[in-house]
Amino acid sequence: MMKQPHYETHEPDILPQRAAELLCWITNEAIETRGVAHIAISGGATPRPLFKLLTQPRWKTCIPWTHTHIWWVDERCVPPDHPDSNYGVAYALMVQHLPVTITHRIRGEETPWKAAQLYEQELVDAFGLEAGRWPRFDLILLGMGDDGHTASLFPNTPSLAVRERLVTVGRAPSPPHTRITLTLPVLNHAAHVVFLVSGAHKGQALFDIFFLEGGDPPRPASLVRPQEGNQLWLLEREAQIAAGLQPIQNHNH
């Protein structure tokens, strides 16, 4: 019997604040112990209020950006100035307003497998990985679609089954269809995974994940279970209600 994932429920205006608190705690702890933090952020609409919040004075100073590497969980195969670019959105809302940032952009303008290969090599170089080793992100911030996809790992697609690579090419049902994504093993080697989920339309996928052990076939997001790490779902109130979950304000992780 799979343990129900840990979760918290928050009002829309509180959700990004809670995510910012976790980001602040995790990055400072990583830098105190190793002198560097590596975080990976997702695209989509849900993290945008968080990106804006992080440029506010309180959070801008709380997070040690000069020692924090910002990576992307996935990217659409479009140039960085395209409105669908995850990097482009994060740069406009957050990165360009921060004091110093060390960013690792997925090159969506390249051919897909070239972009995947370049990003994988950048991970190998930055984490000093030997063959067969996995990068251990301090924090991976994930979203979830109403079909239960996360990153660009969509149901019934080959990218979901990739276990021997760090980065692969994913196929989305909605345009831009071709995407570059971290693979499931990379997500599952993270120290902390935080899901940010909003929207009543995600209730069924959440119900499957929290009450039906992921559903059949398992929703991709249900396959994210860090082997030696923590996972926390931050659910916006309407998503929690739609999933039939009880409200939980604060999880003492």
Q: Scanning the structure block, which residue is given the tokens 């992080």?
A: 54
Residues listed for the chain: 253
Which residue number, 46 or 222, has a Cβ lying nearer to ligand 6PG? 46
**Residue type for 143, please?**
G
Q: How far is the CB of 28 from ligand 6PG (least distance, A)?
A: 25
Binders in 151-190 for ligand 6PG, by CB under 6 A: 151-152
* Position among 31, 44, 165, 185 found at the interface with ligand 6PG (CB under 6 A): 44
* Interface with ligand 6PG, residue 45, by CB under 6 A: yes
Q: Where are the beta strands (DSSP E) in the chain?
A: 7-10, 37-41, 68-72, 74-76, 102-104, 139-142, 167-171, 178-182, 192-197, 230-236
Binding segment for ligand 6PG (CB under 6 A), chosen from 29-37, 60-68, 122-130, 148-156, is 148-156
Binding segment for ligand 6PG (CB under 6 A), chosen from 39-47, 110-118, 159-167, 233-241, is 39-47
Q: Scanning the structure block, which residue is given the tokens 């690579």?
A: 165
* Position among 7, 37, 40, 74 found at the interface with ligand 6PG (CB under 6 A): 74
Cβ–Cβ < 8 Å for 42, 143: yes
- Token digits of residue 31: 């830098």
* Interface with ligand 6PG, residue 43, by CB under 6 A: yes
Binding segment for ligand 6PG (CB under 6 A), chosen from 8-16, 149-157, 207-215, 227-235, is 149-157
* Interface with ligand 6PG, residue 39, by CB under 6 A: no
Cβ–Cβ < 8 Å for 233, 2: no
